[in-house]
A and B are shown apart, each in its own frame.
Chain A
Amino acid sequence: MSQSTGTRRGFLKLGAALGGTALSTPFIARNALAAEPIKVGCLLDQSGPLGLSGQPMLQATQYAVKVINDQGGLLGRPLQLVVYDTQSSMQLYTQYAQQLALKDKVAVVHGGITSASREAIRPIFDRFKTLYFYNTQYEGGVCDRDIFCTGTTPAQTVSHIVPYALKNWGKKTYIIAADYNYGHITAKWMTKYTREGGGQVLETDFFPLDVTDFSATISKIQQASPDFVLSPLVGANHLGFYRQWAAAGMKSKIPVASSVFGLSNELNSMDASVTDGIISAFGWYPTVPGAGSKSFLDGMTAMFGKGLPMLSELDSASYEGMMFWAEGVKKAGTIDRLPVIKALESGITIDGPSGKATMDPATHHVIHNAYLAKAEKAEWVIQDTYPASPPADTAAVCDLIKNPRMDKQFIVNVD
């Protein structure tokens, strides 16, 4: 199928919809394409340091595709996943992104884990006019009409963690963050919310992803003696902090809250004596009640067996991202980029694992439920629920309806 007939079909469809006869896909065109699957691209790290997060994300994506195909696919066509393993390497992200856009000509790409990888591939999909879904909780602020971000942002998570800590633990905090864009921007949000809550940030330290020895930092934290520690630390090496923190006997003295802890099976890979008491907030936990959550967990277990790690928001967001796109395609009646974007901008709501989730037209981020939970005996025990949390951080600066040509990431300013 050439590009031009697709556009013409989309144009016809649009004309038909405007004419008031919605749902009318030209009969002949639909039959002609019935056999041809819709290609859906997926870029997730299956190996390397990020493979641990990427593997269940891919499984959730495969599960979502299976659910859609079991219901007869989209527009009468089945979905076909085109998956590349980016191996935790930025170079492979850019290489495979071009391949998906130019060679495979996929209808949409889901993927990217770290913010660094998202910023590496986002311009490529912009340039080659490929629709892109980023399904990871991240630091917020991406304002670009070609991308939809289905994970939570600091306004949905950090904004709940910090007040909880200020209320229950005290006013002074010490921030330890990963040394790349996610850690820096999240640390700024943490500083902002702490100050707004009347608290004080004693110190912020950044750690490259290969740091494993935190003994000097643990001494520094003790010297500063904060009431609690906020940690956007990322990756397997940084887990050493939690181990050394517990080993130094600090866990019973100064509590820790994190914006990332729990996204990589931490509660199963570390002893409960290390993880107990850590606070986090995400859009979904396996312990979230509700039918959507249960059917997602049951479906994943039925498809992949008992070998699954503890699932997290990364996986529920990957599932929801695919479902959002599917709803957009259904509503647009085509897989063409612009009609699908317009359909998604009409405020589509889906019922996902985390409950009702709505695509915010102005920011291309998702309004969804957020949860605050505490680790107890290797389980996330939900402490609080924040229904229909808006992506307020991005909404404050980004309006794609007014400025559809906007293409940048806003970064919060804290002095």
Chain B
Amino acid sequence: MDLYGLVGFNILVGIGTIALITVGLGVIYGMMKIINLAHGEFMMLGAYATYVATAHGINIWIAMLIIAPVFVGLVGLVVERCLIRFLYGRMIDTMLATWGLSLGLIGLMTSIFGNDPRGVSTPVGSFSIGHYAASLYGVVIIVVAVLALVGLYAMLSMTRYGLIVRATMQNPNMAAALGVAPPTIYMATFALGAGLAGLAGGVLAPISGVSPVMGAAFIAKAFITVLGGGAAIVTGTSLASGLFGFIDTFVSFKSTPVIGEVALLLAAVVMIRILPQGITGRFLRRSL
């Protein structure tokens, strides 16, 4: 019984982790149609921001929940102004440009901090489920993932900015005719997506470690989840991470992490075959 509790908890943490690494990409790829291959490196920048901030004595919660997303959001702003804004509507070109960006960021961080993985210590301890122990940090991941998704949902559906963003993504010309400046909205949305990636990097830093090449471990899962989720980013990301997180963690527990990863990819292939537009391409189409 305790074991079911532990596995159940791990599945929730697995889902939370996937949701967290995906939500930023959901904004940039799902909404803006920018194939951001530098998503993993945005996470890496968030992790380094957390590392540097805590090394300078800043409280770790402030470092990963505020400094990391704000810093990477600002980086996203600069990237959008210097690179991405010339590439709207040219999906394949964005892929090439962001791939170059990701290599550049890895090289930049390597030359600043070196190759060695850095650590950020976990701010909370552990708790027990029966006679099994689990990390309390898993709770932090779940809570942050839920808050990020709920916050994004609330912002898109309830605020004026959210309405403008949705309108701009749907039809930029019409939005412009109604007095909105699409370039500004694009810029802000890209920064938002980058900031969410930074948040994910900051929150995952204590468990994955911080190194210039850490982004590669996340990027594939993030893209699969966004594609699996479909057009509605909040609902799609939640559903797809729920499905993939469950399959990955459960199969990993029953067999090995390799088989877990295989099962995840297999599920993704089957799902894309059945639902080429993602889950929300067929179900819950009017959701966000």
Interface residues of A (CB under 8 A from B): 47-49, 51-52, 55, 179, 205-208, 210-217, 219-220, 222-223, 236-237, 239-240, 243-244, 246-250, 253, 264-265, 269-271, 273-274, 309
Contact = CB atoms under 8 A, between A and B. Distances in A.
B12 to A, nearest CB: 10
B117 A253 contact: no
A294 B17 CA distance: 46
Given A240-B208, A274-B121, 20 more contacts: A49-B213, A52-B114, A206-B256, A208-B261, A212-B207, A212-B209, A212-B217, A219-B132, A222-B6, A222-B133, A223-B3, A236-B117, A236-B214, A244-B135, A244-B207, A248-B135, A250-B126, A253-B133, A269-B118, A309-B116
A265 B114 CA distance: 12
B135 A249 contact: yes
B173 interface: no
A49 to B, nearest CB: 6
A48 B260 CA distance: 26
Closest 6 CB pairs of A and B: A249-B126, A216-B252, A247-B135, A51-B115, A236-B117, A249-B133
A235 B116 CA distance: 10
A53 to B, nearest CB: 9
13 contacts: A48-B115, A55-B115, A207-B257, A213-B207, A215-B135, A215-B249, A216-B10, A216-B14, A243-B119, A247-B122, A247-B207, A270-B119, A271-B121
B144 interface: no
A237 B118 CA distance: 11
Interface string B1-38: 00100110010011001000000000000000000000
Interface of B: 3, 6-7, 10, 13-14, 17, 110, 114-119, 121-122, 125-128, 132-138, 206-209, 211, 213-214, 216-217, 249, 252-253, 256-258, 260-261
B134 A248 contact: yes
B47 to A, nearest CB: 11
Contacts of B137: 247
Contacts of A214: 257
Contacts of A47: 110, 115
A210 B216 CA distance: 8
A249 B252 CA distance: 21
A219 B213 contact: no
Contacts, number: 131
A224 B116 CA distance: 33
B207 A274 contact: no
Contacts of B122: 243, 246-247
Contact of A236 (B135, B207, B209, B253): B209
B119 A269 contact: yes
B25 to A, nearest CB: 17
B205 to A, nearest CB: 10
A5 to B, nearest CB: 43
A143 to B, nearest CB: 30
Contacts of A217: 252, 257
A222 B116 CA distance: 30
Contacts of A249: 125-128, 133-135
A215 B116 contact: no
Contacts of B127: 249
A52 B115 contact: yes
B119 A271 contact: yes
A16 B117 CA distance: 55
Contacts of B214: 212, 236-237
A223 B131 CA distance: 10
A205 B257 contact: yes
A215 B138 contact: yes
A240 B13 contact: no
A265 to B, nearest CB: 6
Nearest to A55: B115
Nearest to A243: B207
B143 to A, nearest CB: 16
A215 B17 CA distance: 11
Contacts of B252: 216-217
Given A213-B14, A240-B208, A48 B258 contact: no
Among B118, B137, B138, B209, max chain A CB count under 10 A is at B209
Contacts of B208: 212-213, 237, 240, 243
A309 B114 CA distance: 11
A224 to B, nearest CB: 11
Nearest to A248: B135
B33 to A, nearest CB: 27
A265 B128 CA distance: 32
A216 B125 contact: no
Contacts of A219: 3, 6-7, 10, 132, 134, 253
Given A55-B115, A274-B119, A216 B207 contact: no
A237 B115 contact: no
Contact of A264 (B3, B116, B207, B257): B116
A310 to B, nearest CB: 10
* A205, A220, A247, A250, most chain B CB atoms within 10 A: A247
Nearest to B122: A247
B6 A243 contact: no
B241 to A, nearest CB: 13
A248 to B, nearest CB: 4
Contacts of A239: 117, 119, 209
Contacts of B253: 216, 219-220
A27 B206 CA distance: 65
B117 to A, nearest CB: 4
Nearest to A268: B116
Contacts of A222: 6, 132-133
A134 B17 CA distance: 40
Contacts of A208: 257-258, 261
Nearest to B256: A205
B206 A215 contact: no
Contacts of A247: 122, 125-126, 135-137, 206-207
Nearest to A265: B116
